Amino acid sequence: MAEPQKQNRNTLTLLLLLLITSLGANFYQWKNHSTTVITHGTEVDSLINARVEVERELTSITMELEKYRGIAGNLDTALNDAKGQIAAKEAEIRKLFATEKNLEKLNKKLKVQMEELRKLRDENLEKIDVLMAENQKLKEENSSLNSTVNNLNEQKNMLEGKVATASQLKVEYVKVNSFKKKGSGKFVESVLAKRTNKIESCFTLMDNKVAGPGDKMIYLVITAPDGKVLMGFTKAQFTDSDGKTVDATASQKVTYTGDKQDLCLAFENDERILEAGTYTINVYAENVLVHASSYLLK
């Protein structure tokens, strides 16, 4: 009876040992699996952080360079080159993420790539700085050149104005008379509007050595009290110095030599159509008003 009981105890002891061994093995496997999971999770977090850091750096560098776009054409060309270089470097980094599975090696390679990326940024910033300095210098030189050109143009215009003023013809000794026409055809002076057939303006075209010789147009414009221009036998029309079209009472082309010339222009009508009042007498030389006066018919 004692022998079977002994065997049972041995069997029970063996089972307990097996159970303890199994529990130990399971605990080891669980612990080892937990450690693997934790390690893998840590690696994933590190990889995500590395990606975020790379994206942040790429965005920062791109924004830092792009803020200079639009200032000048040569800067935009340099920025386009830099953009291509950064894109190539970004492609290298993304390929590195895809191919390098060892986190430690990946971090070392990423560090090198990021240093190269920052070096690329600094080189392009230096290039932009040089270009902007050159552009500023060119802008200042261009501004100085424009100022010089403007001053020269002002001097040119001033000289042209002086020459134009000096060459402008002038008239002096203007005398206005009115006449009635007798049956014989002879004109005699008259101051009564109802008896007047002719208003004549005589003057001296002054000498001017600056004005070039040649044919010059002289116009007489007589305006009646009612504001209408008297139009005699020699009607004419011209554009004055202000660009206004003017009806002329009379006109004459003279061959100017630079010396004094005496001229007479007049309004004449066989019918006595004039009214009493003040008449305006204007004389134009080469479309410029050179004399203005008034004349009274009673």
Q: What pLDDT shows up at residue 281?
A: 92
Same domain assignment for residues 128 and 20: yes
Q: Residue 39: phi, psi to the nearest 5?
A: -60, -45
Q: Is residue 25 part of a domain?
A: yes
**In the structure, what pLDDT confidence band is assigned to residue 226 with cuts at 50, 70 and 90?**
very high
Same domain assignment for residues 188 and 123: no
40 has a pLDDT exceeding 60: no
253 has a pLDDT exceeding 60: yes
Choice among 8-17, 62-71, 248-257, 286-295 with the minimum mean pLDDT: 8-17
How far is it, in rounded angstroms, from Cα 80 to Cα 84?
Answer: 6
Q: Is 230 exposed, middle or buried (0-12, 13-18, 19+ CB in 10 A)?
A: buried
Q: Is residue 117 part of a domain?
A: yes
Predicted TM-score of the model (pTM): 0.47
253 three-state secondary structure: strand
Q: What pLDDT shows up at residue 108?
A: 80
Q: What pLDDT shows up at residue 39?
A: 42
Q: pLDDT of 123-176, one tens digit each?
A: 777 777 777 777 777 777 777 777 666 666 666 555 444 445 566 888 889 999
175: domain range? 171-297
Q: How many domains does the chain have?
A: 2
The domain boundary, picked from 86, 116, 135, lies at 135
Q: What pLDDT shows up at residue 59?
A: 82
Q: pLDDT of 68-82, one tens digit each?
A: 787 777 777 877 887
Q: What pLDDT shows up at residue 163?
A: 46
Q: Is residue 145 part of a domain?
A: no
Q: Element (H or E) spanning 278, and its range?
A: strand 277-285
Radius of gyration of the chain from Cα atoms? 54
31 has a pLDDT exceeding 90: no
C-alpha to C-alpha distances, 134 to 79, 80, 143, 251, nearest whole angstrom: 16, 19, 14, 63
The beta-carbon contacts of 129-138 under 8 Å, at least 24 apart in sequence, are 131/72, 131/74, 131/75, 131/78, 132/68, 132/71, 132/72, 132/75, 135/71, 135/72, 135/74, 135/75
Highest mean predicted confidence (pLDDT) among 39-53, 55-69, 168-182: 168-182
204 touches 218 (CB < 8 A):
no
78 touches 131 (CB < 8 A):
yes
Q: Is residue 147 part of a domain?
A: no
